Each structure stands twice: as C-alpha cells, then as structure tokens.
Chains A and B, each alone.
Chain A
C-alpha cells in the first residue's frame, strides 16, 4: 500500500501536493461524507430501532420487531409481486425488442441506419415528465390509465437507451477475425454467434439487462401517473408510507430491504461497464 502510494506521489507534476497534509481532500471527504451518508445511515438505524424518542442521539431500544411486521404485511407482498413481475416483463420485452435492433445497428448496413439510431436521442430531448403527460392524455382516450400494460408500454420507452445503446458498442467491438476464422473452419452462423459473438458481448448485455431491471423496479413516476390506483408497485407503497403511515420503521425497513439488492445489482453493472460507461449509459 505504502509502496504504491509512494510510486504515485513521485509522478511528475505533483509539486503542489508536496509533503503537506492533503487538506483539500480531507475537507472534501468530510463534507461529502456528511452530505451523502447522513440520510442513509439515519434510515439504516431507524430500520433496527424499536424506540427512538427525540432528542436522544442513540435510540432507546434496538430490535427486529418491525422486520417481521413489514414482512407479514399483505400490501408489501402484493407490491413486491407487482413490482417484480412488472420489472421482469419490461426487461424481457425490452431485451427481445432491443437486442436484435442493437445487433443490426452495430453490424448490418441498411438505409436510414444513422437516422434511426439517432432517433433514440429523442428520449433525452424532452423533459421526461412532460413527455409522460402527453402520453397519458392519449392513454386516457384508450382506457389504458390504471392498467398494468399501459405502465409496461411507457416503461419500455425509458429502457430503449440502455438496451439499444449499451450493447451497440459491444457488438461493434467483437473481434471480426475470430468470427471469420470460425466460419472458415466450418462453423454454422448460429454456432459462430453462440460460441464467438455472444461471450464477447455478454458483459455489456448483462449490464444493460441489470440497469433496465433495477430502473424499472424503482420507477415511480410512470407508475404513479399511469398505474395508480390500480397498479400498486413498491415505490407507490413507499409514497403511501411517506404520506400517511405513522410508524416510521415501516418505511425504513422497506427502504433497507429494497436498497440492498439494488446496490448489489448496480455494483455488478458497474463492474461490467466501468464508472464512465455506466455514467454515459445513464445519460452523463
């Protein structure tokens, strides 16, 4: 550790750092820790608290009582089932529709290719919520308000960016010479795709699938605008806990339960993609 630190410190151009303590870094780290971590740590503590009366800094009584309460609630089960099936259906549909298109954009030549590819940028060109409003007015006429499939349809649109754009660069980077060599050796096109192409694009495709799933699972705005009150997803249950639940711990337990899997999935997605590419995929 000290060795690598020393090696880095001796890089050229670091005269400003010198032997002084890294005050700028320490100040940034402390302020940022407080800003980012305080709300999260607070919720984590609440989730394991049974009694916490103001103004005690530490809760009077810790315990797991509210976990069994939350796990036993019918509305939590219903919301979980709805959200999981919604996310699974949207992700599967999105993969079926988008991955072949992504392959086509990367590898085939057809008229209007660039125009169609850039047309997905319109997803970014409008403030999303206004766009949902214009869709919602059409859906009112079609009777799709409050319908599960209405929510699925709009959520598909917000997944296009992940499922088309992330895999395209992966398909472009596949080593063509390996594919040609396999063809020359007598492999069928399908076999080449399965054994050569697929393994090379798998990390990017997995990242796209994970991002789509996580984003759909936590999507609140479409569900609330188009789905409510019939479609009850976990984020909508959370809105109800925030608006009208007196027991603080229910929301805290639900937050923690929801947050841990999303954290793990996104860490995985980040491993597949790297921070910069993940940022680009999310619109940075």
Chain B
C-alpha cells in the first residue's frame, strides 16, 4: 500500500472515529433540546381533529386573552427591564473603574464583584430573606441608628429584583469588562488632551465603542430573567408571579401541559432576538479564541 493511500485511509478512519466520539453529546442536544422545543411548538400550534392534528392558534389565543397569564408576563417583562437597567448602571462604573484605575483597590473590588459566582442562588435566597425580610438585618441596622423601618421588599417584585441583580452582577461585569478592553487608553488621553471632560469622554469615546457589548450584556441578563425560577419563587409575590414559577405551577399544580408549553414558547419568542445577539457573541469570542 502506498503512503498516500495509507494517509487517506487513516483520515477516513479519523472521520469515522470523530463522528462516533461526538455522537453521544450531539444526540443529547437533539433529544433534550431541539426535539422538545420542536414538539412544544408543534403541539401548541395544533389541535387533535378527526383526521389527525390540524393547525390552530387556540392555545395562544387563550394565553393572550387570559388576564392572569398576561399579568404574569407583564410582571416578568417589567422585572427584566428594571434588572437590566440596574445591572448596566451598576456594572458600567465598576467596569470603568477596574479598567482605567491603577489603584490598589481594584483587586478588592474585582474580587468582591465576582464573589456572587461562588454563591449558589438557593443559598442567596435564604441569605436575602434573613437580610431583607421582616426584622432582618436591614431592619436591625436602621433601628440601631434610629431610623424607621423600610417596607420590606421580601414577597414583592423588588425581592427577586434585588436577588437577580446580586446573582447576575459578576457575569454582566465580565461581559462589560471584556468590551472595555477594546477601548484604548490612548484614545481617551487624546480626547482629554483636546479638552473633553469625563462625561464627554464617556459619551463620545467610550459608549459608542461598547454599544455592542452593552447589547450583549443586556441580552444575557434578559435571557436569564425569563428563565429565572429559584429567586422569584422564593423571594417574589405569589400573585402576579414571574414566568418561571408560573410555568411550574401550570404544569405541576394546574396539570395543564399544553398551557405550560405555550407559556414556554412565548418566553422563547420574546427572548429570540436577545438569544440571537447573545449566542452570536459567544460564538464570535469562541472563534477568536481558537484562532
């Protein structure tokens, strides 16, 4: 056998082995992501007729005419919007500071801001109840300095908002930081030399360059918010509730799988555009890394 034949045979063998090695995880993706989603879309768009399934929008018509479902969806949208705005407002100054300051405090601040990565959300829920709940440590501290109690955010929409901001802070910050690393110090120095003040530098030099990053960060947060379950379930109000707890109740307690899947597909559709931005950015980082 010639050397060329040997090489081509080995390459063919490598191809088969390659396909075999990736078969199991790819099968999992197909069986446990693509198939359930496709089936949910199909089943919610059809009803069983005498001659097999036929197209029908009944499930969605119900969802969008049911006041209860709409209130839950609306609350999720509101909480997602508030969390996104709060997270960006919180992360931008921290990221700017971490990127452009040479102070020794940067190490401490970065460690602190990444800390929530190490705290599982179930433990966070417990800690926040003890802190923000009635007679929690915030009440104790306010009382100790002679201030009146604040209304507790526990079991109001502000409970999950505070929890989700806490939980999403590190990854949002890392996304913003990665974007800021593309803003060169030289361009900022040049603008300062030309007489620009801090806000002008921010508005005309920094923000235009990280617009894409901010969009990706917002997409990441919104995707997370629509799938949040633990924090809204444990910290939020029972009525109206966010989509996560609502879907669980619909499938487990109300025992209505079709409506639960309709709710799921509605969250997919609302998040589709954000998912596109986010996934595109993950894929791009991935390609840059491997080249």
Contacts and interface: CB of A to CB of B under 8 A. Distances in A.
Q: Majority SS of interface residues in chain B? A: helix
Contacts of B248: 129, 133, 224-225
Contacts of B171: 279, 282-284
Most A Cβ at <10 Å: residue of B16, B121, B252: B252
Given A134-B261, A225-B248, A242 B126 contact: yes
Interface stretch (B56-64, B202-210, B224-232): B224-232
Contacts of A267: 118
Given A109-B14, A140-B257, A130 B97 contact: no
B143 interface: yes
Interface stretch (B1-9, B46-54, B276-284): B276-284
Interface string A10-42: 010111110000101110110011011111101
A104 B18 contact: yes
Interface of A: 5, 8-9, 11, 13-17, 22, 24-26, 28-29, 32-33, 35-40, 42-43, 46, 54-57, 97-98, 100-101, 103-105, 108-113, 116, 118-131, 133-138, 140, 153-154, 156-157, 160, 164-165, 168-169, 172, 218, 220-221, 224-225, 235, 238-239, 241-242, 248, 251-252, 255, 258-259, 262-263, 266-267, 275-276, 278-280, 282-284
12 contacts: A13-B186, A22-B101, A28-B105, A121-B282, A128-B227, A130-B264, A165-B286, A172-B290, A218-B120, A225-B229, A259-B119, A275-B114
Interface of B: 11, 14-19, 21-22, 24-26, 28-30, 32-37, 39-40, 93-94, 97, 101-106, 108-110, 112-131, 135-141, 143-144, 166, 169-172, 174-175, 178, 185-186, 188-189, 192, 220, 223-224, 226-230, 234, 243-244, 247-248, 251-252, 257, 260-261, 263-265, 267-268, 271, 275, 278-279, 282-283, 285-286, 289-290
